[in-house]
Structure formats: C-alpha cells, structure tokens
Amino acid sequence: MSPEDFLKEIQAIGEKFLLKLQKLPKADPVEIASFSVVLLFIATVLVLTIIACSCCCYSCCGCDGPDARYKKSRVRPAA
C-alpha cells in the first residue's frame, strides 16, 4: 500500500467517523450505546499501549536511577 493510498484510506475513515458523529443526536439509544462501547474500546487500547510503551522504555533506557548498577547482584560461577 502506497503512502497516498494510506492517507486516502485514513481520510475516508475520518469522514465516516464525522458523519457518524453528526447523525448521533438523532440515533437510537442502542446505536448510541454501541458507538460508546466502540469508543471506549479504542480509548482502552490506546491507554494500554501507552502504558506498555512507557514501561518498556523505562526499563530499556536505564532510567532506574544513578544507583541502580550497585543494587544489582552479580552471579558468579561456583568454584
């Protein structure tokens, strides 16, 4: 998929989303509830992704503090 096709696809999804938001005040309660569940699911996935990335970055970047290297125990081979 080329970048232009990807941008067109994202734009089409955005337009459908805006159209859905415009029709939402006139929608049935079931449709409003289902739309809210979908939005809640998307928000949950984004929040969990951000948390997972921040935890991974925290452990990979050595952000444990200046004294972290002294707190780690070294394993030595048995004599």
Closest CA relative to residue 41, chosen from 29, 53, 49, 31: 49
Higher pLDDT, 44 or 35: 44
Give tens-digit pLDDT for 26-42.
889 998 899 899 989 99
Separation between Cα atoms, residue 35 and residue 20, nearest integer Å = 9
Chain mean pLDDT for the chain: 81
Domain locations in the chain as residue ranges: 28-57
- Between the alpha carbon of residue 78 and those of residues 15, 20, 71, 72, the distances in Å are 66, 67, 21, 19
The predicted structure's pLDDT at residue 17: 86
Q: Supply the pTM of this predicted model.
A: 0.54
